[in-house]
C-alpha cells in the first residue's frame, strides 16, 4: 500500500480484553499518526458484520478491529468483496489469526502498524460454506468437543490450558467415526477421532509435514484426520501448540490439501467452526484465495 492512511473506521468489541482502556490508546496513536478515526461498538453477534459492510460502502481507508477471532471473523465476512485492508488489534480471549500474522499483542504496538512507512499488507485466504465465512477452520469430533468443553470463563482465566483440560474430558467422550471426504474430486474414507479443516496453522498442527505447511495465504485448506488418541496425541498437541515444532510421531495423523472439500461422518459428531458449535453437517467447504488484505509488521532485514 503506497498511500498514507487518512481515515480509519474501528469496530470495537467492548466485551473483549482484560479491562484495560482501549480508546485512549487508539486516540493517542491516531493523533500521533495524524489519522482521523471513528468507532462503532458491538453489542451482539452480527454487529461487526453490519459495521464492516458500512465501512466498505463508505470506502474507509482501513477497517480496524479490536476483539478476538469471533469479532474478526464477522468483520471479515462484512468486508468480503471490498478492497479495504484490515488492521487487527488483538483483544479477545483467543487471537489465533493475529498470532498467525505476527501482529503484536500490545495495543500500542498493533496501532503502530497503521502508521508504518511503507505500510505492509498480507493477503489471506478465507473459507466458505453456504453463505457463511470462516477464518480459522472447522473441526468434527474430538477437536470440536475440545472447543465446546472450554468455556469462556476458563478460557479467560487460563487461556490455552483451558483447551488441554477440555481435551482430557473430550477424549473420554469421543468415539471414533468414519469420515467421508471428497477433496478436489478425490474420495477418501478414513476412521479417526477428529477431522480438522484448517485455514491457519497454529491450531495445534502447525508443521504437518516437511514440505506441506499449513499456510493462510497458499490458497489451500488443509485437511487433517487424527486417527487415535493416546499419550502421543497429547504430546503432539503440546509440542505443536506450545513449541510450534513439528511432532515426531506422524502415524497419528493423515493429511491432505485442497480447494473444494465435502465432509461428513458416520456416526454424526459434534462440529465447530471458528470456535462456535455448528449444527449443519455434512458440509461443502470452499476456499476463497487472497480474499482479505491485513496490515502486518514489515519483515525484518
Ligand atoms: Mg492454506
Q: What is the pLDDT of residue 39?
A: 95
Report how far ligand 1's centroid is from the alpha carbon of 292 (Å).
Answer: 14
Determine the distance separating the centroid of ligand 1 and the alpha carbon of 33, expressed in angstroms: 34
Judge contact between 206 and 91, C-beta under 8 A: no
* Residue range(s) occupied by CATH 3.40.50.10330 in the chain: 7-119
Residue with cell 474414507: 189
CA of 153 to the centre of ligand 1 (A): 31
User: Three-class SS of residue 204?
Assistant: coil
Model pLDDT, residue 206:
45
What pLDDT sits at residue 232? 58
Element (H, E) at 154: helix 152-158
Decide: 110 and 90 in contact? Cβ < 8 Å. Answer: yes
DSSP string of 104-158? -SSHHHHHHGGG-SS--EEEEEEEEETTEEESSEEEEEHHHHHHHHS-HHHHHHH
Phi and psi for 84 in degrees, rounded to 5? -70, 125
Neighbours of 227 (CB within 10 A): 15
Starting at the edge strand found earlier in the chain, the sheet holding 194-198 runs 253-258, 221-226, 194-198, 137-141, 271-273, 276-278
Distance 60 CA to ligand 1 centre (A): 28
Q: What is the pLDDT of residue 210?
A: 42
Domain covering 133-289: architecture: Sandwich (2.60)
Tell me, in angstroms, the distance from the centre of ligand 1 to residue 130's CA.
19
Centroid of ligand 1 to alpha carbon of 140 (angstroms): 18
Judge whether 82 and 275 are in contact, CB under 8 Å. Answer: no
Residue ranges, CATH 2.60.200.40, the chain: 133-289
What's the gap in Å between 287 CA and the centre of ligand 1? Answer: 9
Say what the pLDDT of residue 173 is.
74
Give residues with Cβ within 8 angstroms of 129, minimum separation 6. 138, 273, 283, 284, 285, 286
Chain position carrying cell 497458499? 218
Q: Which of 206, 209, 190, 187 is nearest to 198 (CA)?
A: 206
At residue 95, the pLDDT reads 85
- CA neighbor of 138 nearest in space, from 81, 179, 82: 179
Residue 218 CA to ligand 1 center (angstroms) comes to 5
Measured over the CA atoms of residue 198, residue 201, residue 206 and residue 210, the dihedral's sign is positive
Fold of 7-119: Rossmann fold (3.40.50)
The rounded Å distance from CA 19 to ligand 1 centre is: 34
Q: What is the pLDDT along the chain (301 residues), one digit of tens a residue?
A: 556 889 999 999 988 876 678 999 999 999 999 999 999 999 999 999 999 999 999 888 999 999 999 999 999 999 999 999 999 999 887 788 998 899 999 999 999 999 988 899 999 999 999 999 999 999 898 878 877 777 766 666 666 566 666 777 777 777 889 999 999 999 999 999 889 898 987 654 444 444 467 889 999 999 988 887 665 566 556 555 555 444 445 566 788 999 999 999 999 988 989 888 888 789 999 999 999 999 999 986 5
156 Cα: distance to centroid of ligand 1 (angstroms): 28
Q: Reduced to 3 states, what is the DSSP secondary structure of residue 72?
A: helix
SS3 state of residue 14: coil
Percent of the chain that is helix, strand, coil (3-state, to 5): 30, 30, 40
Residue from 69, 194, 165 nearest 126 by CA:
69
The per-residue pLDDT for 157 is 63
Q: How far apart are CA 177 and CA 195, in angstroms?
A: 10
Coil, strand or helix at 86: strand
Say how far apart CA 136 and CA 160 lie, in whole Å. Answer: 16
Amino acid at each position: 500500500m503506497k498511500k498514507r492512511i487518512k481515515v480509519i473506521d474501528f469496530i470495537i468489541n467492548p466485551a473483549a480484553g482484560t479491562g484495560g482502556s482501549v480508546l485512549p490508546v487508539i486516540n493517542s496513536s491516531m493523533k500521533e499518526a495524524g489519522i482521523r478515526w471513528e468507532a462503532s461498538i458491538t453489542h451482539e453477534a452480527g454487529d461487526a458484520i453490519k459495521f464492516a459492510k458500512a465501512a466498505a460502502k463508505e470506502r474507509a481507508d482501513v477497517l480496524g478491529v479490536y476483539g478476538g477471532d469471533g469479532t474478526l471473523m464477522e468483520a471479515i465476512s462484512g468486508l468480503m468483496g471490498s478492497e479495504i485492508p484490515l488492521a487487527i488489534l488483538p483483544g479477545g480471549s483467543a487471537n489465533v489469526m493475529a498470532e498467525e500474522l505476527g501482529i503484536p499483542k500490545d495495543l500500542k504496538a498493533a496501532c503502530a502498524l497503521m502508521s508504518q512507512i511503507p505500510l505492509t499488507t498480507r493477503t489471506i485466504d478465507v473459507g466458505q460454506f453456504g453463505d457463511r465465512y470462516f477464518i480459522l477452520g472447522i473441526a468434527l469430533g474430538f477437536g470440536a468437543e475440545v472447543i465446546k468443553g472450554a468455556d469462556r470463563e476458563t478460557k479467560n482465566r487460563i487461556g490455552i490450558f483451558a483447551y488441554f483440560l477440555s481435551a482430557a474430558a473430550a477424549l473420554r467422550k469421543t468415539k471414533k467415526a468414519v469420515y467421508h471426504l471428497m477433496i478436489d474430486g478425490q474420495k477418501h474414507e478414513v476412521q479417526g477421532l477428529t477431522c480438522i479443516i484448517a485455514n491457519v496453522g497454529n491450531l495445534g498442527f502447525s508443521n504437518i509435514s516437511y514440505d506441506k505447511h499449513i499456510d493462510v495465504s497458499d490458497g489451500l485448506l488443509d485437511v487433517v484426520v487424527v486417527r487415535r488418541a493416546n499419550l502421543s496425541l497429547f504430546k503432539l498437541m503440546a509440542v505443536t501448540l506450545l513449541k510450534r515444532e513439528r511432532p515426531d510421531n506422524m502415524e497419528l495423523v493423515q493429511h491432505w490439501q485442497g480447494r473444494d472439500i465435502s465432509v461428513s461422518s458416520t456416526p454424526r459428531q459434534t462440529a465447530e467452526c471458528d470456535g462456535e458449535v455448528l449444527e449443519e453437517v455434512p458440509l461443502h467447504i470452499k476456499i476463497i484465495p487472497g480474499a482479505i488484505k491485513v496490515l502486518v509488521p514489515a519483515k525484518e532485514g
